[in-house]
Amino acid sequence: MGRCEDSGLRNVILDKTYIRNMDNSSKGTQLKFFKDGVWYKQNRTGYEGTAEALCSLLLSYSNIEDFVRYEECKINGRSGCRSENFLKDGEECITLQRLYEYHVGGQLQEAVLRFETVEERIAFVLTFVKKSADLDLRGYLARLLTFDMVTLNIDRHFHNICVIRKEDGRYRQAPVFDNGAALLSNFGIFPVEDDLEKNIARAAAAPFSGSFELQAKALGLDFRVKADILKKLKTWPDCRAKQVLLHQLSRYKFLVC
């Protein structure tokens, strides 16, 4: 799955009738298409498709079982990725921001930042989700934000953390998805001419703290990766996304077992 080079990637031709722009990301809107149960996203700021594919590979060797698999491709000649729709009939993906707007009103991020400590911020969100959707997201967030710590996903704000509302009105947890901002994929924020350590130092986390480690440790580092991932990565073409991931796996080698 996935490549680091444009050559040889499958090119999918989609006309404008399939455009579905639903990305509220603060990092920029990727052009999205939806056809026959498959989502397609074009790269916008760098190598988002490669980041998605590599993150999928990492998740396939981890203790996270419910995640979306991405495959690199070209869409109308432009690099990107594709993934199958993870919603069942009658289901809807609800961001935590949208859930907060419906039940409380206003911006969830602003409400969170009123609290001084990361622990208080996390407790506020967990209490809100439990009350409004009857879901306990502590374990989910612990795995998700530790995964983000490893992959340096700078875009995990409350528009990118979701729950799924089922047809009967009840909710379930969403799979892990939307990792295109990971692995220093944005050339505007992480210039190719700068060395790896300098770019990594620029990476700021979300949504509870700018520190990946601080928010992940506050929830508990509940993410583990099988050591076989290192063998698998040897077969992956060399590229910056791969270099970043190898660096991070070495940095957090206590999570690799």
**Residue 234 CB-density burial (10 A; 0-12 exposed, 13-18 middle, 19+ buried):** exposed
pLDDT of 4 > 70? The answer is no
pLDDT for the residue numbered 21:
73
pLDDT tens track for 158-174: 999 999 999 999 999 99
pLDDT tens track for 176-227: 999 999 999 999 999 999 999 999 999 999 999 999 999 999 999 999 999 9
Beta bridge partners of 95: 162
pLDDT for the residue numbered 9:
82
Is the model more confident about 237 or about 29?
A: 237
Comparing CA positions, the residue from 202, 228, 177, 212 lying closest to residue 51 is: 177
Two structure tokens written together for 10: 């499958």
- What is the chain's alpha carbon radius of gyration, rounded to the nearest angstrom? 18
pLDDT band, residue 28 (cuts 50/70/90): low
Q: Which residues contact 123 (CB under 8 A, 6 or more apart)?
A: none
Q: Where are the domains of the chain?
A: 11-84, 92-255
Mean per-residue pLDDT of the chain: 94
pLDDT of 256 > 80? The answer is yes
pLDDT for the residue numbered 53:
98
Average pLDDT, stretch 232-243? Answer: 97
Domain 92-255: CATH architecture, name and number where available = Orthogonal Bundle (1.10)
pLDDT of 27 > 80? The answer is no
- Reported pTM: 0.93
pLDDT of 6 > 80? The answer is no
